[in-house]
């Protein structure tokens, strides 16, 4: 029996996401934890050089849809235009998701938002790693004994996002929320019936970073904001390094660790 998703009050059944699980192999490890939430809204995905962490809100429907759609829209072809293709895939995924969410015209109050999802994905092409981030997930790299933060949080309270929203005439609450309840300023989904459009001010364009990987790159961490609510970026990578020495990685939220140093091709 699928979980009943409350998105727009449709009562649509959605296959439940794994709530407390972990796995991996000699090149990556992943962990998802529901913790104290009433329902699981996060997910990870690993397939043929594609790595992703999805952080949902307002139900599991958006996460479930985007997890299936985004890799297909991106495709398996790699090359120098990967950054552009990532941005296009996010935009197409958002349009498709909004169309999906609009299919049923539920009789619900206009102020309610549908489900939505933040995402951080990474694709490796030889010695380059392309990372696309939308929302408040993060991608960190540990290379040559140093931490590199490859993403920036998209929150209404961040100066660069606050400036953008102000220019658009979009107001946020005094405690930094968009539309009265969203703690992020970029995400996929979040359809509102009051305007029959995406939540005003909410962007679906990710930031893209290209990172060089070599034999000094130990690992890449993709994680939801739940990890960083209880530890700093440095705490997270130090915890991973300690536990990797014991062949055990355990962070108290949704994350995906990619062991770059385990790829033989890096030593060519």
Across 177-181, 235-239, 243-247, 250-254, the highest mean pLDDT is recorded for 235-239
| Beta-carbon contacts of residue 6 (< 8 Å; ≥ 6 apart) | 58, 59
pLDDT of residue 268: 28
Q: How far apart are the first and last CA of the chain?
A: 50
Rounded Cα distance, 103 and 206, in Å: 26
Mean pLDDT of 147-163: 94
Please report whether residue 134 resides in a domain: yes
Residue pair 17/64 in contact by the 8 Å Cβ criterion: yes
- For residue range 207-223, list pLDDT tens digits in order: 999 999 888 898 899 99
179: left (phi over 0), alpha (psi -120 to 50) or beta: left
Strands (E) in 126-260, as ranges, are 128-134, 138-143, 146-149, 188-189, 191-192, 197-198, 207-212, 217-223, 255-258
Cα distances (Å, whole numbers) of residue 192 to 116, 135, 159, 210:
11, 18, 25, 34
pLDDT of residue 77: 81
Whether 5 shows a pLDDT value over 60: the answer reads no
Please report whether residue 23 resides in a domain: no
- For residue range 39-51, list pLDDT tens digits in order: 888 999 988 889 9
pLDDT of residue 264: 38
**pLDDT confidence tier of residue 184, bands split at 50, 70 and 90:** very high
pTM, rounded to two decimals: 0.85
Please report whether residue 5 resides in a domain: no
For residue 23, the surrounding DSSP H or E stretch is strand 20-24
Specify the residue for token string 């790159």: 217
Rounded Cα distance, 186 and 238, in Å: 29
pLDDT of residue 247: 66
At residue 193, φ and ψ (nearest 5 deg) are -75, -15
Please report whether residue 145 resides in a domain: yes
- The number of C-alpha atoms within 13 Å of 194 and in the hemisphere containing its C-beta is 11
**9-13, 16-20, 115-119: least confident range:** 9-13
Please report whether residue 7 resides in a domain: no
Please report whether residue 253 resides in a domain: yes
pLDDT of residue 188: 97
Kindly report the CATH number assigned to the domain that includes residue 71.
Answer: 3.60.40.10
Domain assignment of residue 96, given as a range: 28-33+41-263
Please report whether residue 140 resides in a domain: yes
Whether 55 shows a pLDDT value over 90: the answer reads yes
**pLDDT confidence tier of residue 84, bands split at 50, 70 and 90:** very high
Rounded Cα distance, 152 and 184, in Å: 12
* Mean pLDDT of the chain, nearest integer: 82
**pLDDT confidence tier of residue 254, bands split at 50, 70 and 90:** low
pLDDT of residue 26: 74
Which DSSP string do the residues of 33-82 spell out, in sequence order? Answer: E-TT-SS--EEEEEETTEEEEEEEESSSHHHHHHHHHHHHHH-S--STTH
Rounded Cα distance, 233 and 56, in Å: 21
Please report whether residue 22 resides in a domain: no
Number of domains composing the chain = 1
């Amino acid at each position: 029996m699928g979980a009943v998703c409350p998105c727009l009050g449709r009562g649509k059944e959605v296959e439940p996401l794994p709530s407390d699980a972990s796995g991996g192999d000699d090149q990556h490890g992943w962990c998802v934890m529901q913790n104290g939430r009433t329902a699981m809204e996060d997910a990870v995905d690993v397939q043929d050089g594609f790595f992703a962490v999805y952080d949902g809100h307002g139900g599991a429907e958006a996460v479930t849809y985007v997890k299936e759609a985004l890799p297909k829209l991106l495709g398996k072809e790699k090359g120098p235009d990967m950054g552009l293709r990532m941005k296009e895939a996010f935009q197409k995924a958002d349009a498709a998701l909004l169309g999906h969410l609009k299919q049923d015209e539920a009789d619900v109050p206009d102020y309610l938002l549908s489900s939505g999802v933040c995402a951080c994905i990474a694709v490796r092409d030889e010695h380059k790693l392309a990372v696309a981030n939308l929302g408040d997930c993060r991608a960190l790299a540990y290379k040559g004994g140093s931490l590199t933060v490859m993403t920036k949080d998209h929150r209404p309270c961040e100066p660069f996002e606050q400036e953008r929203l102000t220019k658009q005439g979009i107001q946020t609450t005094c405690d930094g929320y968009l539309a009265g309840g969203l703690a992020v300023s970029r995400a996929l989904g979040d359809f509102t019936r009051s305007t029959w459009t995406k939540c005003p001010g909410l962007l679906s364009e990710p930031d893209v970073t290209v990172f060089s990987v070599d034999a000094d790159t130990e690992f890449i961490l993709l994680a939801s904001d739940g990890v960083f609510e209880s530890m700093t970026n440095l705490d997270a990578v130090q915890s991973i390094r300690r536990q990797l020495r014991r062949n055990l990685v355990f962070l108290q939220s949704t994350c995906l660790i990619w062991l770059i140093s385990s790829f033989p091709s890096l030593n060519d």
